[in-house]
């Protein structure tokens, strides 16, 4: 029977049967091989039971295509589809020379990355554009990587002749998000060729880009370049007075909106739920609008209202200082500019103390990775007056006026904002535990700003380059700066001894000359070069010569079984506690022990009977009641731990005995020579045997006579 003679009723029977069989198969058969076999088997059964269609079905490609189209239609409505099944169906259709557009359409609706890649690798060139190329674009877009964008750009020249304006616009949207500026001109040229054939689409796309730019949903540089290229394309192709006037208007528009196309009316460093620095400092708010416009501010609490105004500068920037405000809240701050889109309401604002936590991976180490993570996350729900903000890890090669991105906007502390149960999370554990302990002792609202990036050397954190290239957050008054870094500079201790104090001094020129700066001394790390970490710890300690600095040592917080590497110990609770003790003593004037024993006198005892002895005396204010000696055991190789204490004899460091006698640490060695120096805990993986009564360790020292 010719296919044209098949009645409508027979078609309906065919379609109905296929649908019912496929639904049964998909809901009852889990094994992929069995499912493939069943689809083929059911097709044969159907043919055998419908003799009128038997010959037509076997000899009609159209009927066979109908069957597989129905398979795809049914699969498109199933929530979970085995991607291997779709690949098999596509290959079957390709072997039968079927139209595979329905498979491509399914990929446009849903995410099947392996299927898309398989189709791209096997389809002939004429079948790749435009829709299969779009599928691949969407898949690559989800990767959000430069490599993905480069892949697409490499195919743009091949794609151009097949693309219509709608497809090109979709690609433009993708590249807006990827922001691959070093390759965007290839795309722009392709777009000019495409839009040269479609003037109305060109105008529509320009209007869209301009609207997006005004709403700050796209990058300023991209918008200006793209608009300029598209407009000049049209003007060059149609030399009319109207087009020239439009181009002039566009250039004027660039000048008008340049100050705020991609910058926020209110800086993205600020936001609802934030903590602003309390009195006696004056908190500041800032942002960008159109040049030379009035900006008003109204701050309201239950008991008071404050209003003021300013005027934006030539570049559109504005800044307003608030009066010194005591700890408390909440406040609502409303900001308005003359531009109708520039209105912002910041709610649930508290005044308190703001701290910035910076550094490498040990500062970036999140709460869910710490010891007792489940309970620690639950405890965070009880601290609504601690607010968290985390900067994203973004790089720049040109000067920036705004944060490049945020990982966590200002949020109240809870079990989600400190980290998720899956082990990922936003917030620095050391920073969080510090803030929590300070809040417990003061009940002052605390704002914590975390900005950490693992593996970054000190050079990346040293102004002026840092502040110019990353963002201008130095307008934010803060109460202190905390830092945990140094691992990346191991092996360059002499450089670090100079660079670290220089970095601190430079930061203070931006944030405040006398701003407290507290840092974490490196924890244990069993590197092969046994002096690299120990020497860097001494370089860190050299920064204590600067005023208003403090050091919380982590030398005794070893964690050789840490799943994140022994360099990342999980006991961040103790790191935070030690940082908080520094702040409570130095900033809040609480009488609490805030550091380990500090040696002040090294005295050689006369060598009698072949015994060398050096007595180390300590500042009594750092003993918290006295010295304590604990048993120590090396958890790694003994060559990594070294000795608790050593004496330099005949130009060689030799293991020494140690004991506490009447508040003095006595170091002894059987030798007839003369001690030239003493050192304590000088190893990458130090053995820490001496503490004060507060449980804070004696930190490594080297003293030469």
**How far apart are alpha carbons 451 and 393 in whole angstroms?**
8
The SS3 assignment for 239 reads coil
Whether residue 196 has pLDDT greater than 70: no
- The pLDDT > 70 percentage for the chain reads 61
The most confident of 142-146, 194-198, 316-320, 323-327, by mean pLDDT: 323-327
**How far apart are alpha carbons 524 and 536 in whole angstroms?**
12
Return the ∠ at Cα 334 (arms to 331 and 336), rounded to 5°: 165
For the segment 17-39, the average pLDDT, to the nearest whole number, is 56
- Residue 597 vs residue 3, higher pLDDT: 597
Whether residue 589 has pLDDT greater than 90: yes
For the segment 623-641, the average pLDDT, to the nearest whole number, is 87
Tokens encoding 267:
């800086």
DSSP 376-402: HHHHGGG-TTEEEEEE-----SS--SS
- Residue 464 vs residue 341, higher pLDDT: 341
**How far apart are alpha carbons 505 and 503 in whole angstroms?**
5
pLDDT by residue (tens digit) across 616-627? Answer: 999 999 999 999
Instruction: Give the DSSP letter of residue 663.
Output: T
- Residue 11 vs residue 275, higher pLDDT: 275
Half-sphere exposure of 12 (CA within 13 A, CB side): 3
Query: Among residues 660, 672, 687, 665, which one has the least CA distance to residue 614?
Result: 665
The SS3 assignment for 194 reads helix
**How far apart are alpha carbons 413 and 377 in whole angstroms?**
9
Whether residue 261 has pLDDT greater than 80: no
**How far apart are alpha carbons 33 and 41 in whole angstroms?**
12
Average pLDDT, the chain: 76
Buried b (16+ CB within 10 A) or exposed e, 101-118: ebbbebbeeeebbebbeb
**Which residues fall within 8 angstroms of residue 203, CB to CB, at 6 or more apart?**
234
For the segment 199-208, the average pLDDT, to the nearest whole number, is 52
Whether residue 556 has pLDDT greater than 90: yes
Q: How confident is the model at residue 87, as a pLDDT? A: 75
Q: How confident is the model at residue 420, as a pLDDT? A: 79
Helix axes 131-143, 146-154, angle to 10 degrees: 160
**How far apart are alpha carbons 222 and 176 in whole angstroms?**
7
Q: How confident is the model at residue 256, as a pLDDT? A: 40
Whether residue 22 has pLDDT greater than 70: no
For the segment 579-608, the average pLDDT, to the nearest whole number, is 93
**How far apart are alpha carbons 695 and 625 in whole angstroms?**
11
Whether residue 172 has pLDDT greater than 80: no
Q: How confident is the model at residue 41, as a pLDDT? A: 60
DSSP 31-75: -HHHHHHHHHHHHHHHHHH-HHHHHHHHH-HHHHHHHHHHHHHHH
Whether residue 201 has pLDDT greater than 90: no
Which of 233-242, 586-595, 659-668 shows the lowest per-residue confidence on average (mean pLDDT)? 233-242
| Whether the predicted model's global pTM rises above the 0.85 cut | no
Q: How confident is the model at residue 578, as a pLDDT? A: 96
For the segment 300-308, the average pLDDT, to the nearest whole number, is 93
Q: How confident is the model at residue 456, as a pLDDT? A: 86
Which of 262-271, 274-283, 378-387 shows the lowest per-residue confidence on average (mean pLDDT)? 262-271
For the segment 566-583, the average pLDDT, to the nearest whole number, is 94
Decide: 405 and 453 in contact? Cβ < 8 Å.
no
What is the CATH topology of the domain spanning 350-586? Rossmann fold (3.40.50)
Q: How confident is the model at residue 421, as a pLDDT? A: 66
Decide: 166 and 133 in contact? Cβ < 8 Å.
no
Whether residue 7 has pLDDT greater than 60: no
For the segment 657-679, the average pLDDT, to the nearest whole number, is 91
Q: How confident is the model at residue 268, as a pLDDT? A: 87
Q: How confident is the model at residue 352, as a pLDDT? A: 97
pLDDT by residue (tens digit) across 275-301? Answer: 999 999 999 999 988 888 999 999 999
Sign of CA dihedral 215, 216, 218, 223: positive
pLDDT by residue (tens digit) across 311-363? Answer: 998 888 899 999 999 999 999 999 999 988 899 999 999 999 999 999 999 99
Q: For strands 343-359 and 275-277, give the pairing.
A: parallel
**How far apart are alpha carbons 373 and 562 in whole angstroms?**
14
Place of tokens 């912002």: 344
pLDDT by residue (tens digit) across 91-133? Answer: 776 776 666 666 666 665 666 777 777 777 777 665 665 556 6
């Amino acid at each position: 029977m010719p296919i044209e003679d098949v009645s409508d009723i027979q078609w309906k029977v065919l379609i109905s049967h296929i649908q019912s069989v496929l639904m049964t198969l998909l809901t009852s058969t889990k094994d992929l091989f069995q499912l493939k076999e069943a689809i083929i088997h059911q097709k044969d059964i159907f043919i055998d039971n419908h003799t009128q269609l038997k010959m037509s079905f076997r000899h009609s490609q159209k009927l066979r295509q109908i069957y597989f189209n129905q398979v795809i239609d049914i699969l498109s409505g199933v929530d979970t589809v085995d991607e291997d099944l779709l690949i098999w169906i596509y290959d079957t259709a390709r072997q039968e020379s079927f139209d595979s557009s329905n498979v491509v359409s399914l990929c446009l609706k849903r995410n099947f990355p392996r299927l898309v890649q398989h189709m791209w690798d096997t389809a002939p060139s004429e079948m790749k554009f435009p829709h299969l190329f779009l599928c691949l674009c969407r898949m690559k877009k989800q990767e959000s990587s430069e490599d993905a964008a480069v892949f697409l750009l490499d195919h743009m020249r091949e794609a151009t002749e097949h693309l219509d304006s709608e497809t090109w616009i979709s690609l433009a949207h993708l590249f807006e998000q990827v922001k691959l500026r070093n390759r965007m001109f290839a795309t722009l040229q392709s777009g000019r060729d495409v839009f040269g054939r479609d003037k109305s689409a060109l105008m529509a796309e320009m209007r869209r880009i301009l609207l997006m730019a005004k709403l700050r949903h796209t990058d300023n540089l991209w918008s200006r370049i793209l608009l300029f290229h598209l407009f000049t394309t049209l003007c060059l192709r149609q030399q009319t007075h109207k087009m020239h006037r439009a181009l002039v208007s566009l250039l004027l528009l660039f000048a008008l909106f340049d100050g705020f196309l991609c910058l926020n009316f209110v800086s993205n460093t600020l936001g609802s739920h934030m903590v602003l620095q309390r009195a006696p400092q004056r908190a500041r708010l800032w942002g960008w609008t159109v040049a030379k416009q009035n900006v008003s501010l109204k701050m309201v609490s239950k008991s008071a209202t404050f209003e003021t105004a300013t005027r934006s500068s030539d570049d559109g920037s504005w800044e307003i200082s608030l009066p010194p405000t005591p700890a408390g809240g909440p406040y609502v701050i409303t900001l308005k500019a003359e531009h109708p889109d520039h209105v912002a309401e910041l709610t649930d604002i508290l005044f308190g103390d703001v701290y910035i936590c910076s550094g490498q991976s040990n500062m970036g180490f999140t709460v869910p990775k710490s010891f007792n993570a489940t309970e620690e996350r639950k405890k965070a729900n009880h601290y609504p007056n601690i607010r968290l903000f985390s900067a994203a890890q973004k790089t720049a090669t040109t000067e920036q006026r705004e944060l490049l991105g945020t990982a966590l906007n200002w949020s109240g502390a809870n079990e989600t904002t400190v980290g998720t149960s899956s082990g990922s999370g936003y917030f620095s554990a050391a920073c969080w535990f510090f803030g929590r302990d300070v809040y417990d002792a003061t009940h002052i609202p605390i704002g914590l700003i975390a900005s950490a990036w693992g593996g970054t050397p000190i050079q990346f954190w040293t102004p002026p380059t840092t502040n110019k290239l990353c963002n201008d957050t130095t307008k934010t008054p803060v109460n202190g700066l905390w830092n945990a870094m140094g691992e990346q500079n191991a092996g360059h201790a002499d450089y670090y001894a100079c660079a670290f104090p220089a970095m601190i001094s430079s930061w203070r020129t931006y944030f405040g000359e006398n701003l407290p700066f507290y840092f974490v001394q490196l924890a244990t790390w069993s590197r092969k070069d046994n002096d690299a970490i120990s020497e860097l710890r001494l370089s860190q300690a050299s920064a204590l010569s600067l005023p208003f600095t403090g050091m919380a040592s982590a030398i005794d917080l070893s964690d050789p079984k840490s799943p994140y590497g022994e360099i990342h110990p999980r006991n961040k609770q103790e790191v935070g506690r030690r940082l908080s003790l520094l702040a409570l003593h130095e900033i809040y004037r609480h009488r609490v022990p805030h550091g380990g024993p500090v040696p002040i006198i090294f005295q050689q005892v006369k060598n009698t009977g072949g015994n060398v002895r050096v007595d180390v005396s300590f500042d009594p204010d750092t003993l918290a009641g006295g010295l304590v000696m604990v048993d120590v055991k090396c958890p790694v190789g003994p060559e990594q731990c070294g000795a608790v204490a050593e004496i330099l004899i005949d130009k060689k460091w030799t293991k020494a005995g140690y004991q506490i006698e009447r508040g003095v640490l006595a170091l002894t060695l059987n030798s007839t020579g003369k001690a030239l120096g003493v050192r304590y805990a000088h190893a990458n993986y130090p053995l820490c045997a001496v503490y004060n009564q507060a449980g804070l360790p004696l930190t490594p020292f080297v003293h030469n006579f």
